[in-house]
Amino acid sequence: MQDNTTNASLPRIGLSQGDFNGISYEVMLKTFSDARMFETFVPVLYGQSKVFSYYKKNFGMDSPNYALTRDARQAGDKKFNIINIVENELKIEPGAPSGVSTEMSMLSMKRAAEDLQAGILDALVMAPDSPMVAQSNRDFLLSFHKDSDPVQVLVSDSLRIALATGDLPLRTALDQLDSQRLVGKLITLAKALKTDFGISSPKMAVMGVNPHSGSKPTGDDDKVVQAVKEAQEKGLYAFGPFSASQLFVAGWWKKYDAVMALHYEQGTFPIKFLSPDGYAYYWAGLPVVCTAPLHGPAYDIANQNQAVPDSYRKAVFLAVDIVNHRKEQ
C-alpha cells in the first residue's frame, strides 16, 4: 500500500486524529468519502490505519481507501495518506476518553505540528478532542510562536467572528480586555482578512459589553469606544461598539467583513445559530495555518454513525483556502 508519488502543486494538509474514542474518525471518513476532496490537496493523517479500518468497517463504508507513508513529503495525491504514529495494537473504547486515546491524540498533534513548523505541511487540521486535551494541543502549537499575539477567528460560509479573549469566565475575560489589547487584535484581524481571505479593505464591527452599547455606550464600553477610535486613527475600518441585537437580530453583520466579539460566548453563540452548514476556527496572525471544527468529540454518539461532518469539512476547506490565498500574496 506504499506510494511515493506526489503532486508538488497541491497543498499538503496534515490531519491530527483527535480522540479516537469520540467522533473524530467518523467525521474524517465521511468527509473524505467524497473523491472530489482529493482534487485540490493532499491529506495526511497522523494516526493509526487500524483505527481507520475499524471505524470504516463498523460504518460499512467502501471509501476512502488509504495509502501508508512514513514521511509526509512522500504522500501520494488522489488518495488518503496515513502515517502510523505507533505500530502496536490499540484498545478502542468508543464513548469516553481513555489514557491510550489521550496519549495518542497528543502524540498525533506533536508529530503533525512539528512537520507543520518544519514546512513539510502547508496546513494542519485538528480533529475533535476533549476540552482539556484540545487546549493542551493548542498550547503546544502556540508554544512555537510565543512572540505572536494570535486571534481566534470563527468562520462559516457567510460569517467571520474574531474573539478578543479566550474561553474564559466573563469577568476574567473583561478584566483582561483594555483598549490597547483590542487595537492589537483589530490590527491582526485586518491583516488576516487581507492575506487569508483576499479582502483588500476589510470593514470590522466591534461588539460592546452592555445591552445598549450601540446607542448609549457606558462603563465597560468606554475602552471599546477608545479602541475603535485608535484603530480608525491607524487607518483601519473599524466601527462600534454594537450590541448583539443590532448585529445579529437586525442583521447589521452583513455590512461587515468580520465581527470582533469581546468574549467567547458572545462570538460562538451567533455563529452556531446563523451557520447551519458548519463552522470552524483558525488562529489568525500565525505564520502557519491551523484550523479545527468548533465542536468536541461527542462521546455520547461515538461509533453510532450519527455524527454530522459539516464543521470538520469546513475546517478542511478553510485550511486549503487560506493556504491558497497566502500563496497569492
Q: Say what the pLDDT of residue 3 is.
A: 41
The pLDDT tens digits for 150-208 are: 999 999 999 999 999 988 888 888 888 899 999 999 999 999 999 999 999 999 999 99
What's the per-residue H, E or C state across the chain? CCCCCCCCCCCEEEEECCCCCCCHHHHHHHHHCCHHHHHCCEEEEEECHHHHHHHHHHCCCCCCCEEECCCHHHCCCCCEEEEECCCCCCCCCCCCCCHHHHHHHHHHHHHHHHHHHCCCCCEEECCCCCHHHHHHHHHHHHHHHCCCCCEEEEECCCCEEEECCCCCCHHHHHHHCCHHHHHHHHHHHHHHHHHCCCCCCCEEEEECCCCCCCCCCCHHHHHHHHHHHHHHHCCCEEEEEECHHHHHHCCHHHHCCEEEECCHHHHHHHHHHHCCCCCEEEEECCCCCEEEECCCCCHHHCCCCCCCCHHHHHHHHHHHHHHHHHHCC
Does 149-281 match 1-147+286-329 at the fold level?
yes
Q: List, in sequence order, every residue forming a beta bridge with 205; answer none if it has no partner.
A: 239, 259
What is the sign of the dihedral through the CA atoms of 183, 187, 188 and 192? positive
149-281 adopts what CATH topology?
Answer: Isopropylmalate Dehydrogenase (3.40.718)
Q: Say what the pLDDT of residue 214 is.
A: 63
Taking phi first (over 0 means left), then psi (-120 to 50 degrees means alpha), and beta for anything else, what does residue 199 get? beta
Q: Say what the pLDDT of residue 217 is.
A: 63
Q: Structural domain boundaries of the chain?
A: 1-147+286-329, 149-281
Q: Say what the pLDDT of residue 8 is.
A: 56
Q: Say what the pLDDT of residue 29 is.
A: 98
Q: Say what the pLDDT of residue 172 is.
A: 87
**3.40.630.30, 3.40.50.1980, 3.40.718.10, 3.30.70.1380: which CATH number matches 1-147+286-329?**
3.40.718.10
Task: Give every CB contact of residue 194 below 8 A, 6+ residues apart in sequence.
Answer: 200, 202
- Which residues of the chain, if any, have pLDDT below 70? 1-8, 212-218
Nearest CA to 281 out of 292, 273, 269, 266 is that of 292
What's the per-residue H, E or C state across 10-35? CCEEEEECCCCCCCHHHHHHHHHCCH
